[in-house]
A and B are shown apart, each in its own frame.
Chain A
Amino acid sequence: MTTQLEHPWQAALDKVKTWARVNSPWAIHFNTGSCNGCDIEIVATLTPRYDLERFGVKLQGSPRHADLLICTGPVTRQARDRLIRVYEQMPDPKFVVAVGSCAISGGAFRGCYNVVGHIDKVIPVHAYIPGCPPRPEAIIDGVVKLLGSLQPPAAKN
């Protein structure tokens, strides 16, 4: 994230990097076994009524361009390996958002034979957004809180 070299430009460079990261995170969405409820709410979040792009968040296609991985659903056995691969393809620094009860705990599908478990059993998670499914406002709130946490304390005020 930050290089160790002491350099007069370093502080300014870090500031610019954080500014860019917080102001235009690109997101990728991966459904690991969800019922679709969270997924349609994520799409609703991106459409005119809620418009997540106001915060610079843009949904795009490739994991290689993404800063944010938005996951929904419990992790099924078939999706586990693919989730890891998508996560590994993302460049550092990367952040994972688990959307919905199933992504957080397995939800209604906890204990089903083809369900490995929740998202943070497989990859690290930075923000949890509860709900079955969470409302678009909750998703926006979760993402904005995550972005806020990326600011260094001094830059917050």
Chain B
Amino acid sequence: MTTSVQTGTPTDPALGRAETILARWAPVASRPEPNRLDVPVPAEDVAQAAQALGRERWGYLAAITGLDHGPEADRLEALYHFCSGAAVLTLRALLPRHGGTVPSVAETFPLAMFFERELSEMFGVTVAGTPDPSRLFLPDDWPTGVYPLLKDVNPQAALAAQSETAPPRLQGKSDGDRFIVPIGPQHPALKEPGHFAFEVDGEVVKGASVRLGYVHRGIEKACEGQTWVQNLYLLERVCGICSHTHATCYALGVERLAGVEAPPRAQAIRVILGCLERIHSHLLWLGVAAHEAGFETLFMYSWRDRETIMDLLEQLSGNRVNYSCNVLGGVKFDISAEQAQAIRRALDFVEERTRHYLEVVSTDTLFLGRTQGIGVLSRQEAEYLGTVGPTARASGVPIDIRVTHPYAAYRAFPAEMVLDTAGDLTARFVVRMKEVFESGRVIRSILDNLPAGDLTVKMPRRIKPAETISRYEAPRGEVFYFLRSNGSDTPERVHIRTPSLCNWTSVLTKAVGAQLADVPLLLAGMDPCFSCNDRTVVITRPRRDPQVLSWEALRSAARQDRRR
């Protein structure tokens, strides 16, 4: 009953292929769940194993999780999660707790440089050969040698012991003939803080960097000190726009760990809320992106129409933003026949409006002038850079967890993937608008066949030691949760990888070579969510001809970057 909760097929054929590719290490592999393969590899072989997977184009790197087993066990693990459809392959590298070293896999999977920096600042693991070893999301004045996610480290005490010095101020860069346009952390175009520096030559962007971490709060550590139930409310506040996403992804994972499955009616209500959240998020994004393009009218119209969905969410849950729909083992509220009717009416209105917006973004000459052929991301680039969500789907990458690894009620009420091949900003608008219709269609099909029955099942308070991975398609892309229980009523480890983190590389790569005036829209095009990812520093320097990089040129550029 338990382990097949979220898996489409009992054993995934992709895992058989992975075993062949990793034949050298496979004898010690294990299958903790039908869709997962754990392969312990010696730390020094991690890069080789990753290269083997990259060569065979087996999936993409989803996350690198650091896992501290505590001072008694005196060991630490670095888990490299690769995903292909529903299959999850984890390379487990065992390390000493202090002074461990792993080789970088950023050459094969450029996205790894974020994950590797997170691993090194949170756990003190040295990543040999990583392109940029600087801070990812800890503040500038963080004391050196304090690794907050180690079990026996108390960051608050370490910070209290630190002598009170004024934090270093942001230095304005003036370097010869380079002209740098700083944006943020406070900026009218950003409703969230991030600091961007665009190096320009006339109107053309020559280099782009971003410093995030302004909204890093330390949620993963806080989770370890709270019970499974308390964490539901904390994780709902990882992000205000996709609050239901995080709560549901976590609840599905915890239920799987506990060997419990929420009743069908609860799963259906979760998906309805998830679809409504996607619609409100996409309309919100449409407005913000239109605002960046200077199209204020569209901004105001789309936000006005979005209120229809906000009214529904409030009517169903009692709150406009943090719906608090989930409990562990089910949902809190039911959907009555009258409410179902209200949802249908609201969808009629929103779909009619969205049809109009789709027409505007795909036919309006002035608007197309700002979006068509701008920031074109080819499918190969998108796959290589690890892009996820609508940004990837606009480039034709078939990646959508609702379809490839259906969870909750998506197995009974399948969603269809919306793809486009153009890869430019127009395609990103079109994909998101079409997803509004798709979400509406899923909601209607569920409402017409809403399963009867209970809303909750009983959940145990303590959960036996186990590990699981929960994946969920948020409005911005795949959300990835790694959960580990230890037999108590608190989690041993909660690791969150959010979609915005995966999309930074593609945006900053595309910003280089673009007109400065296009940059706001390029940034908006990926729908960045700082509170989710609250990490990163990326430095993108101009490569020889950034506009026309072939697949091979991109790979060799990455290799050269690494040697530098």
Interface, chain A (partner B; CB < 8 A): 28-44, 47-49, 59-63, 73-74, 76-82, 86, 107-109, 111-115, 132-133, 135
Contact = CB atoms under 8 A, between A and B. Distances in A.
Interface in B122-179: 138-142, 148, 155-156, 159, 166-167, 169-170
Interface string B195-238: 00000000000000000011111110110000000000110011
A113 B187 contact: no
Contact of A47 (B304, B320, B529): B304
Given A28-B186, A86-B186, A132 B139 contact: no
Given A37-B322, A113-B156, A31 B307 contact: no
Given A36-B531, A37-B243, A78-B139, A112 B321 contact: no
A49 B307 contact: yes
A76 B240 contact: no
Contacts of B219: 109, 112
Contact of B221 (A42, A44, A76, A112): A112
B187 A35 contact: no
B313 interface: no
Candidate in A36, A62, A76, A135 with the most chain B CB atoms within 10 angstroms: A36
B239 to A, nearest CB: 6
A81 B167 contact: yes
Contact of B139 (A41, A42, A114): A114
B537 to A, nearest CB: 12
Interface in B20-43: none
Contacts of B138: 114
Nearest to B219: A112
Contacts, number: 148
Contacts of B148: 113
Contact of B193 (A28, A30, A63, A74): A30
Given A79-B185, A113-B156, A133-B322, A36 B216 contact: no
Nearest to B169: A81
Contact of A31 (B139, B140, B192): B192
Contact of A133 (B159, B213, B240): B240
Nearest to A106: B217
A39 B193 contact: no
Contacts of A42: 191
Contacts of A132: 237, 322
Candidate in B170, B219, B237, B300 with the most chain A CB atoms within 10 angstroms: B237
Contacts of B215: 31, 33-35, 73, 76, 79
Contacts of B284: 40
Contact of B186 (A76, A78, A82): A82
15 contacts: A37-B241, A48-B303, A60-B188, A74-B217, A81-B169, A108-B233, A111-B156, A112-B217, A112-B219, A113-B148, A114-B216, A114-B217, A115-B218, A133-B321, A135-B320
A31 B193 contact: yes
Contact of A41 (B156, B238, B320, B529): B320
Contacts of B346: none
A118 to B, nearest CB: 13
B236 to A, nearest CB: 8
B310 interface: yes
Chain B interface SS verdict (over half): loop
Chain A interface SS verdict (over half): mixed
A76 B217 contact: yes
A34 B218 contact: no
Interface in B233-261: 233-234, 237-241, 243
A104 to B, nearest CB: 15
A44 B192 contact: no
Contact of B240 (A33, A34, A113): A34
A47 to B, nearest CB: 4
A94 B488 CA distance: 50
A43 B219 CA distance: 25
Given A31-B191, A79-B185, A108 B320 contact: no
A36 B529 contact: yes
B188 A61 contact: yes
Contacts of A74: 217
A59 B191 CA distance: 11
Contact of A44 (B142, B233, B310): B310
A97 B451 CA distance: 46
A47 B187 contact: no
A41 to B, nearest CB: 6
Nearest to B185: A82
A39 B233 CA distance: 19
A33 B529 CA distance: 12
A44 B303 contact: yes
Interface string B307-321: 100100000000011
Contacts of B306: 44
Candidate in B138, B140, B141, B191 with the most chain A CB atoms within 10 angstroms: B191
A108 B237 contact: yes
Given A44-B307, A47-B304, A82-B186, A37 B218 contact: no
A40 B167 CA distance: 30
Nearest to A48: B304
B237 A112 contact: no
B244 to A, nearest CB: 12
A93 to B, nearest CB: 20
A41 B307 CA distance: 11
Contact of B222 (A34, A37, A78, A112): A112
Contact of A35 (B185, B193, B239, B299): B239
Contacts of A86: 186
B191 A43 contact: yes
Contacts of B188: 59-62
Contacts of A36: 191-192, 239-241, 529-531
A109 B237 contact: yes
B317 to A, nearest CB: 13
